[in-house]
Amino acid sequence: MINRTWDKIIKDSIKDVSRERKSDVVKQAEGQLLISVEKALKSDRLDFERECLRLKKNADTARSFLFSPEMENLRINDHSLFVKKVSVYLFHLSFFPSEELKQKVLAIGVPKRCIRWFVGLKEIIKEFDKINSGGWLRILPSKALIVIEAHLFFKIGVSVYSALGKSKKIKSGKFHNEVHTELWEFTRRSNYGSKVKMNSLKKPFDRIMEEFITSSNDIVDIELTSNLLKLTQGKTENQILSKLAEMSIFSVRYDLSERNINSCLFDLYKLIMPDKELLSQVKFEEDKNAGYDRDYVRYQTETIKTILHRAKDQGL
């Protein structure tokens, strides 16, 4: 979390305080922390509004392309470069889904399962508002949105490539999506694990790889080859989403546990990870085989911890 330094300040302030006074000292410090957090939220609002406008502008451009006359008779699997371009446009459009848009996307040959990543900015904002409406956590919308954008970009791009069979065989005999395979071949010729030279990527990946790199550069060490290889396989949970709390979450309660944090963020994770089919409380209670001693909070926290930190991704 962003406010780890506050936890340290509070710990230091109660270190030499009697047991009777500890509660008062903690409450006073938490009050100061809340004031600081509210200031940070206010400052973040303008950045968030700018980012929302940028997303809308990109979506308008993508929509104009998708509904243009040149798209009337084209299908996404006609050209490799066309797939790259459409996968980027689908990412931009995913924040502003509509039934008309979904039907158009299906009409040009995008498989239905790719549309599950059309999360919608309005729904994301609802979750932000729910987190910030009270309770123990506050989320900085602009910071959180950047993490979510990077996650969805890779998921949509890899999902489109995989679903349309845009894959190549690598030396091990396995098939991977085209972007991952070309990167794998490039890194095999250089030293694995060393820093990738960005100008060397421009020829094989064109603008698609530049988008990949730009969308995640502030979140993960994208220049480290092993990280980039995982991301071009769509493995964003450990590489990107695990940074969500670290980059955008404030706790307004001293020493808040990871269990509490994962529970508070569960509905947001559920929204942006449709492939994981996370259960609502109603579905959990209806499922007699759900386990977790019928404890929904335990299900929430342990499931999220497993997804984000173990990163045993079983595919798209």
Q: How many CA atoms lie within 13 A of 16 on its CB side?
A: 0
**Per-residue pLDDT averaged across 141-165, rounded?**
82
Closest residue by Cα to residue 90 from 111, 115, 123: 115
Which tokens is 164 given?
Answer: 């349309």
List alpha helices for the chain, DSSP H: 4-14, 19-66, 80-93, 99-107, 121-132, 141-163, 178-189, 202-216, 225-231, 236-239, 244-248, 258-272, 281-286, 296-305
What angle, rounded to 10 degrees, do the helices at 141-163 and 121-132 form?
140
Quick one: CA dihedral 12, 18, 19, 25, positive or negative? negative
Out of 7-21, 55-69, 276-290, least confident range: 7-21
pLDDT exceeds cutoff 80 at 242: yes
Task: Kindly report, residue by residue over 160-190, the tens digit of the pLDDT.
Answer: 777 665 555 555 555 555 656 655 555 555 5
User: What's the rounded Cα separation, in Å, for the pair 71 and 9?
Assistant: 59
The gap from C-alpha 267 to its chain's centroid, in whole angstroms, comes to: 13
Q: At what angle do helices 202-216 and 80-93 cross, to 10 degrees?
A: 10
Picking from 100, 123, 102, 97, the residue whose alpha carbon sits closest to that of residue 113 is 102
Q: How far apart are CA 162 and CA 46, in angstroms?
A: 37
The whole-angstrom separation of Cα 102 and Cα 93 is: 10
Model confidence at 224, in pLDDT bands (50, 70, 90)? very low
Highest mean pLDDT among 25-29, 89-93, 123-127: 123-127
- C-alpha torsion sign, points 14, 17, 21, 22: positive
Residues in the chain: 316
pLDDT reported for residue 50: 94
Mean pLDDT, all residues of the chain: 76
CB 37 within 8 Å of CB 138:
yes
Residue 91 has pLDDT above 70, yes or no: yes
Please state the pTM of the whole predicted model. Answer: 0.77
DSSP per residue, 59-101: HHHHHHHHTSGGGSS--GGG-HHHHHHHHHHHHHHTTS--HHH
Query: Parallel, antiparallel, or unpaired: how do β-strands 167-169 and 137-139 relate?
Result: unpaired
Judge contact between 136 and 257, C-beta under 8 A.
no
Amino acid at 281: Q
- The CA–CA distances, whole Å, from 25 to 18, 19, 30 equal 10, 10, 9
Q: Where are the domains of the chain?
A: 4-310
Identify the residue with better confidence: 10 or 158. 158
